[in-house]
Structure 1
Amino acid sequence: MQSNHHDITIIGAGVSSIFLAYTLMKHNEHVSIHMIDLGKELSERTCGLDEGGICTCEGLCSKYIGFAGLGKSEGKFNYTNDFGGELGRKIGPQNTLKLMREVDNILCEFGGDSIPSYSTKNETLSSRGDEAGLKVLSTEVRHLGTRLAGDIFQELYEVLKARVTFSFETCVETISKKDDTFHLKSTSGQFTTGKLVIGTGMSGSKWLKEQVASLGLFPGKTRLDMGFRVEMKGDQLQSILQDTFETKLQIERDSFSATTYCMNPHGRIIRKHQHGLVMPDGQNAREEDTPSANLNFSLFVPRYFQSHDEAMKYAGDIIGGINQGRGRIVVQRLQDFKCHRATESVEGNLIDPSLNAVCGNVREEVPEVYGMALMEFLGSLETLIGEPVHPDTLLYGLDAKFHEPKLQTDENFETDISNLFLVGDCSGETHSLSQAAASGVYLGEYFVRETSNK
């Protein structure tokens, strides 16, 4: 197959890559852009998991891989420096917020403003949180939901198609550099490019590690967040959710910090499949025909490992041990957890479980730090809400959020290899849709300035 040359090639068609390409397209009429992705275009990304069933994909799962990446799942954009990545530290907090406003403007250009944004900031609650030993993290939120997010990214795709060359269901097998040109050998032929941007997110971690090693780059520390998924009475947190849809809470101790993640009032717990592991995940009430009477969230404790392999082995040993090769997820009543006894049955439990999990003693199946963090957090939460957390609260083990190993990049996301850039989550700097998208806009603007200067 004949070789094709482009000015800029982007590997990975996730959120960061889309916002990078869109920014380039808007401000530079002549740059040629090529985007390569292992998955399918958005209209072909269908999986049984989307409907709450089992994965129906042959090979790679379309729920996680393909155009828009995880942007098609819930479409929740948190515009904040409080959580979701380290972009503010890398390029400055005010610059990051400015870029996030641009991300929101682009989403609204394509219909995102049909869902109002909201703020979780609450000064009174923050003050009460301080007294209870909890930090209340705040954000502006544009929560699109799966359907609207899909519509927006489909429209973005239609616009990008006019200027961007796409290669879907394509695996880049080797990357080499000769003089000022990158040579890509792929399952769809051979390509060359002047600038190469990798935006493969967390799903391409193994591939990224192999490719950059062949170029002489080696990643450093890797972060892994793990913790319990908690399902409680829907009105239990009413006193702190009166003015906001979600409150993000953080507790810090000498031996750990823990933060609530993906809080879903009236949501359900569903199964999440990642890296061969099965975990409890939250589904937003907006994605459901019949909202639940419960509220759920995960309490994540971050840990850092010397390598990505070490982090993945740790997660695999613990969550894989719980799964037992058959997708097993364990559920335990809070009262049983406190008493160090197994839950025999959840029949007649005040909080009706939204996920069909196996009753047991999850406390015995996870490292002590996660149980300790949960107990400390719930103790502070009781102080904040002024009442005990109900003993029938359900604890599911174990949820995880995976992060990319961090490769060294400069302030413009350029690696030690000239004209090789990392963007979005695979840079190790962003851990959210909003920060990933903002990093794409940032890199796009940098390329535009660089071209103008030349």
Structure 2
Amino acid sequence: MSKHYDVIIVGSGPAGIFTALELIETGGGMKILILEKGRDIGKRACVAREQGGPCVNCSPCSTICGWGGAGAFSDGKLTLSTDIGGSLEQYTGEKGLSDLIDYIDRTYVKFGAPEHVFGLEHEEEIQEIQRRAVLSELKLIPVRIRHMGTGRCKEVLQRMQEYLVARGVEVRTSCQVEEVLVKDKVIRGVLTRDGQVINAKIVVLAPGREGADWLTQEAQRLGLNTSINPVDIGVRVELPAAVMDPLTRIFYEAKFIYYAKTFNDKVRTFCMNPNGEVVLENIDGLVTVNGHSHAYNKTENTNFAVLVSKTFTEPFKEPIAYGRYIASLANLLGGGVIVQSLGDLVSGHRSTREKLAKCMTVPTLREATPGDLSLVFPYRHLMGIVEMLKALNNLAPGVYARYTLLYGVEVKFYSSRLALSAALETQIKNLFAAGDGAGVTRGLAQASAAGVLAAREIAKRI
């Protein structure tokens, strides 16, 4: 027997959560259901990290799936800028997006995010860093960042769940949606993997970056138009925190864009974690790398990603498959994530445990296998990464050092972007899509804003 709801939200990451929060604020008494294939936030734990062993291929991976989405165990950075984190301004306009970001920022603070914002001070030092960046052919993107930290981020998301449940929102975790149900180009509901049909007037698809592949497949099945997003593939860089302190002290996360001299590919820094740790992620059996910075537990290292962005032309239509292929080479050669010192990479030597034992940078991801990343990445990707590190060394001496560690592969799976209205409605009536999984956002702030944008249109209809 099927059940009926006003709104079903698929995915409980920031886009899904903020869709529900905004719908509750309308006071319309809607019957809302959130479906999440991962575990509840209190039951999310990485077995490999707790036991200090290799990835055991949990399905789904608790690091990236469950209440709060991948952001629950992320660094918890809110990038308070319209320039970073996606392309939502194409739907809202820059002023509209700025207002949405301010709105969701106040909501995070309401639920316990810290008051302090990085990037509001040190004006003279920022100008000097910008000047030096230009001389190094780097584009510095100064942004305001509110940093929650991994531990505090989890607490904030827990409070949001309690708030929603207390106001009548039904949450089902460990419940995977198999298909979207459509009749006569109008949404009817969803079919879960265990065969349950759940009907709804409106469905919001917010499966997050990990669910991008599923959403792309559903779009193809339903005949929805999509466009291809760039593929971002690279490494997680780890080095002593003192090296990056001149930048992280001012910005917390310094964001740079560089165009490689050899191939002119766009290379960018991403997700900088002062005094953080490098961690594993398991995406449907594919082991990749990421980084966190805890609110309470600090290390002696800083880590950040260096990603090479590539936009492909026809007939290529599989950015996710391409990213998975590159990452799978590291899994094939190293049984998971590979770590290599920059000195070994540049000199053409494989890193070994004996070499890394003498390294000044002590790896925080002990499960990574010492190896050779040149056997994994295309040559043009490696050239872009090395050139970016050389340029960064002009701003933070010690980045381009033989003891700098590189972990691979880090890959950002951006869904092929769905064709959406200004309110994020698909070509199917009353079917909305929001967040990273829909290919329109790339981070906590804009994903949260996307949920609010969709919810405001939904509230008008119910």
TM-score normalised per structure 1 = 0.89
- Between stretches 222-231 and 182-191, larger displacement belongs to 182-191
- Between stretches 413-422 and 326-335, larger displacement belongs to 326-335
- The structure-2 alpha-carbon separation of the partners of 1:55 and 1:29, relative to structure 1 and needing over 3 Å to count, comes to farther
Of 178, 183, 186, the residue aligned with 2:183 is 178
Of 131, 148, 154, the residue aligned with 2:152 is 148
What amino acid is the match of 2:119? S
* 1:225 CA displacement: 1.0
* 1:287 CA displacement: 5.4
CA deviation digits over 1:206-242, x for unaligned, max 9?
Answer: 3323433332225331432111222223322333344
Of 428, 433, 447, the residue aligned with 2:444 is 433
* 1:307 CA displacement: 8.8
* 1:151 CA displacement: 1.9
Say whether 1:138 aligns with 2:147: no
* 1:106 CA displacement: 1.0
* 1:436 CA displacement: 0.3
Say whether 1:300 aligns with 2:307: yes
Q: Please say if residues 320 and 415 of structure 2, whose CA atoms lie closer than 8 Å, have aligned partners that are also in contact.
A: no
Of 330, 340, 344, the residue aligned with 2:338 is 330
What amino acid is the match of 1:315? G
Structure 2 distance, partners of 1:38, 1:220, is: 26
Of 258, 265, 288, the residue aligned with 1:256 is 265
What amino acid is the match of 1:90? Y
Correspondence for 1:70 = 70
Correspondence for 1:352 = 362
* 1:365 CA displacement: 2.9
Structure 2 distance, partners of 1:435, 1:395, is: 29
- Between stretches 423-432 and 225-234, larger displacement belongs to 225-234
What amino acid is the match of 1:101? D
What amino acid is the match of 1:282? G
Correspondence for 1:448 = 459
Correspondence for 1:397 = 408
- The structure-2 alpha-carbon separation of the partners of 1:51 and 1:433, relative to structure 1 and needing over 3 Å to count, comes to farther
- The structure-2 alpha-carbon separation of the partners of 1:237 and 1:449, relative to structure 1 and needing over 3 Å to count, comes to same
What amino acid is the match of 1:173? E
**Equivalent residues in 2 for 1:269-418 (5 A)?**
269-284=278-293, 286=295, 288=297, 291-292=299-300, 294-305=301-312, 310-324=318-332, 327-344=335-352, 345-356=355-366, 357-385=368-396, 389-418=400-429
- The structure-2 alpha-carbon separation of the partners of 1:386 and 1:164, relative to structure 1 and needing over 3 Å to count, comes to closer
Give SS of 1:119's match.
coil
What amino acid is the match of 2:238? E
What amino acid is the match of 2:178? E
CA deviation digits over 1:287-324, x for unaligned, max 9?
Answer: 53x522x3221100112356997333323332222222
* 1:48 CA displacement: 1.9
Give SS of 1:266's match.
coil
* 1:56 CA displacement: 6.5
- Between stretches 255-264 and 394-403, larger displacement belongs to 394-403
Correspondence for 1:123 = 127
What amino acid is the match of 1:105? R
* 1:26 CA displacement: 0.7
Give SS of 1:355's match.
coil
Correspondence for 1:106 = 107
What amino acid is the match of 1:248? K
CA deviation digits over 1:347-405, x for unaligned, max 9?
Answer: 32232333334333322431112211122212322333467832322222222121112
Root mean square deviation of aligned Cα: 2.7
Correspondence for 1:97 = 98
Identical residues among aligned pairs (%):
27
* 1:181 CA displacement: 5.3
CA deviation digits over 1:20-50, x for unaligned, max 9?
Answer: 1111111132322222222233223333256
Give SS of 1:154's match.
helix
Q: Please say if residues 228 and 370 of structure 1, whose CA atoms lie closer than 8 Å, have aligned partners that are also in contact.
A: no
Correspondence for 1:81 = 82
* 1:325 CA displacement: 6.9
Correspondence for 2:197 = 190
Structure 2 distance, partners of 1:119, 1:20, is: 28
Q: Please say if residues 59 and 284 of structure 2, whose CA atoms lie closer than 8 Å, have aligned partners that are also in contact.
A: no
Correspondence for 1:165 = 170
Structure 2 distance, partners of 1:59, 1:371, is: 31
- Between stretches 244-253 and 212-221, larger displacement belongs to 212-221
- Between stretches 153-162 and 34-43, larger displacement belongs to 34-43
Structure 1 distance, partners of 2:396, 2:207, is: 41
- Between stretches 58-67 and 4-13, larger displacement belongs to 58-67
- The structure-2 alpha-carbon separation of the partners of 1:308 and 1:262, relative to structure 1 and needing over 3 Å to count, comes to farther
Say whether 1:16 aligns with 2:15: yes
Give SS of 2:8's match.
strand
Structure 2 distance, partners of 1:58, 1:383, is: 42
CA deviation digits over 1:51-105, x for unaligned, max 9?
Answer: 4745568632232222211231132211112221111233112211211111111
Structure 2 distance, partners of 1:307, 1:418, is: 30
Q: Please say if residues 152 and 295 of structure 2, whose CA atoms lie closer than 8 Å, have aligned partners that are also in contact.
A: no
Give SS of 2:415's match.
coil
Q: Please say if residues 285 and 291 of structure 1, whose CA atoms lie closer than 8 Å, have aligned partners that are also in contact.
A: no
- Unpaired runs of 5+ residues, structure 1, are none
Give SS of 2:161's match.
helix
- The structure-2 alpha-carbon separation of the partners of 1:191 and 1:313, relative to structure 1 and needing over 3 Å to count, comes to closer
Structure 1 distance, partners of 2:98, 2:307, is: 25
Q: Please say if residues 68 and 157 of structure 2, whose CA atoms lie closer than 8 Å, have aligned partners that are also in contact.
A: yes
TM-score normalised per structure 2 = 0.88
Structure 2 distance, partners of 1:221, 1:201, is: 17
- Between stretches 403-412 and 47-56, larger displacement belongs to 47-56
Q: Please say if residues 212 and 438 of structure 2, whose CA atoms lie closer than 8 Å, have aligned partners that are also in contact.
A: no
